[in-house]
Amino acid sequence: MATSIKKLPDIEQVLSGNGACGGCPATMALRMVGKALGPNAIMLLTPACSVASMGMTPKLGYNWPCINITFASAGSSASGITNAVEIMKEKGRFEGELPTVFSWAGDGGTYDIGFQALSAAAERNENIIHFCYNNEAYSNTGVQRSGATPRGTFTTTTPTGKRQPKKNMALLMLEHNIPYVATATVAYPADLYDKVVKAKSIKGMKYIEILAPCYLGWQFDMADTVQLSRMAVRSGAWLLWEADNGRITFNNPTAQFISGKKNPEAVDEYLMKQGRFSRLLQGPDAKERIAEIQGDVDREIAFMRERAKIFI
Ligand SMILES: Cc1ncc(C[n+]2csc(CCOP(=O)(O)OP(=O)(O)O)c2C)c(N)n1
Ligand code: SF4
Ligand SMILES: [Mg+2]
């Protein structure tokens, strides 16, 4: 049961005056993460919009010690820092509660360029939280395709629509046998908050992926970020789930589709609300293209329903 949004702490770790676009989903998500983690944390960032938005010392937009690292090294850098603070504590050179060490990366820095070091950190079960805010493209450099970009999407490197489906990164992380994996999105802030609070309490590797509809890449009105996020979940294009020690449970409204109590909405309306699809869905082959995307969504729901039954 998610905490009510009215009961979220007043604490703000994302400060006013940062350089993000209006309606930026990454910044909204980070605000919720800040409420859940509190001030005692160390943040690592790979190159992405969240770095471009944060400003420069001494006027950082994020109220944590922040370290900018290379694209490929979120897993290894966060591992080094978490081990360093634990050893300092053992040697009596660090007093008080250990900080939460977390990496904050985009889908480019997680699915693609950062995957190798992240996979290695997961296999070692390092005591970190890796957050992927997934806007389904390399937004900061002008919207190029990533491994998280869904089939049929226009990006500057897929001008006629991406041909391949996205990969299921959260499931790949689960298959590393780590203690906690979760998916979330900005339209369900209390669900996100609860998941981060839980991750903070668990020792070992935690992975949380947040769908982050970006008006620039997805081509919608920046006032509609939350609406797009909700439509993604209601259509089943984004599934809300978590896995404690390998056991998958689904969160509402996804849980209702999985149990068959309710059907997800058709993806058409969700797709047509976004310029990155709608431009490509106006031609003579529109019906087949929509059917192909709907097929990917239906397959993923069916696959996750069956995958959740496996717990040995
Ligand atoms: C090795 C390397 N390649 C390319 C870049 C240029 N670059 C900076 S940010 C960025 C996009 C990152 O995409 P993502 O991780 O999805 O974050 P987003 O921009 O979408 O927030 C790229 C390609 C870089 N900094 N380092
Ligand atoms: S381009 Fe998208 S992800 Fe980047 S700062 Fe703007 S709204 Fe946020
Ligand atoms: Mg991205």
Mean pLDDT of 225-238: 98
Closest atom of ligand 2 to 27 CA is 8
For residue 57, count CB atoms less than 10 angstroms from its CB and return exposed for 0-12, middle for 13-18, buried for 19 or more.
Answer: exposed
Triad 230, 136, 44: Cα angle to 5°: 100
What's the pLDDT band for 18 if we cut at 50, 70, 90? confident
Mean pLDDT of 189-215: 98
Dihedral angle sign, alpha carbons of residues 268, 270, 273, 275: negative
Q: What is the reported pLDDT for 1? A: 52
- Considering the chain, what percentage of its residues have pLDDT values greater than 70? 99
Q: What is the reported pLDDT for 2? A: 63
Of 93-102, 184-193, 279-288, minimum mean pLDDT range: 279-288
Question: Tokens standing for 66?
Answer: 């922040």
Contact 78, 126 (CB under 8 A): yes
298 CA to centre of ligand 1 in angstroms: 30
Closest atom of ligand 2 to 135 CA is 3
Taking CA atoms only, the protein residue closest to ligand 2 atom 3 is: 214
pTM value is: 0.98
93 CA to centre of ligand 3 in angstroms: 38
Q: How many angstroms separate the Cα of 92 from the Cα of each of 81, 84, 142, 164?
A: 17, 12, 47, 52
Question: Which residues line ligand 1 at a C-beta cut-off of 6 Å?
Answer: 47-49, 71, 105-109, 113, 135, 137-141, 146
Of 1-10, 77-86, 202-211, 262-271, minimum mean pLDDT range: 1-10
For 40-70, the pLDDT digits (tens) are 999 999 999 999 999 887 889 999 999 999 9
For 241-262, the pLDDT digits (tens) are 999 999 999 999 999 999 999 9
Mean pLDDT of 168-172: 98
Residues 6+ apart with CB under 8 A from 113: 46, 71, 72
Question: Tokens standing for 121?
Answer: 């950190």
Rounded to 5 degrees, φ, ψ at 28 are: -60, -45
Q: How many angstroms separate the Cα of 294 from the Cα of each of 236, 265, 297?
A: 9, 10, 5
Domains of the chain: 5-307 (3.40.50.970)
Whether 312 has a pLDDT exceeding 90, the answer reads no
237 CA to centre of ligand 2 in angstroms: 20
Mean pLDDT of 216-230: 98
Instruction: Answer yes or no: is the C-beta of 21 below 6 A from any ligand 2 atom.
Output: yes
Closest atom of ligand 2 to 22 CA is 7
Instruction: Answer yes or no: is the C-beta of 53 below 6 A from any ligand 2 atom.
Output: yes
182 CA to centre of ligand 3 in angstroms: 18
Q: What is the reported pLDDT for 266? A: 93
For 133-167, the pLDDT digits (tens) are 999 999 999 999 999 999 999 999 999 999 999 99
How many angstroms separate the CA atoms of 125 and 203, rounded? 9
Q: Which ligand is nearest to the CA of 136?
A: 3
286 CA to centre of ligand 1 in angstroms: 32
Closest atom of ligand 2 to 52 CA is 5
Q: How many helices, marked H, and strands, marked E, lie in the chain?
A: 13, 8
Whether 117 has a pLDDT exceeding 80, the answer reads yes
> On the CB side of 227, how many CA atoms lie within 13 Å of its CA?
12
Question: Tokens standing for 139?
Answer: 């937004």
Q: What is the reported pLDDT for 281? A: 87
How many angstroms separate the CA atoms of 170 and 256, rounded? 20
How many angstroms separate the CA atoms of 268 and 29, rounded? 26
Q: What is the mean pLDDT of the chain?
A: 96
Q: Give the number of other CB atoms < 10 A from CB of residue 61.
A: 20
Q: What is the reported pLDDT for 151? A: 96
199 CA to centre of ligand 3 in angstroms: 23
20 CA to centre of ligand 2 in angstroms: 6
Closest atom of ligand 2 to 21 CA is 6
Rounded to 5 degrees, φ, ψ at 181 are: -135, 140
Q: Which residues keep their CB under 5 angstroms from ion ligand 3? A: 106-107, 135, 139
Closest atom of ligand 1 to 110 CA is 15
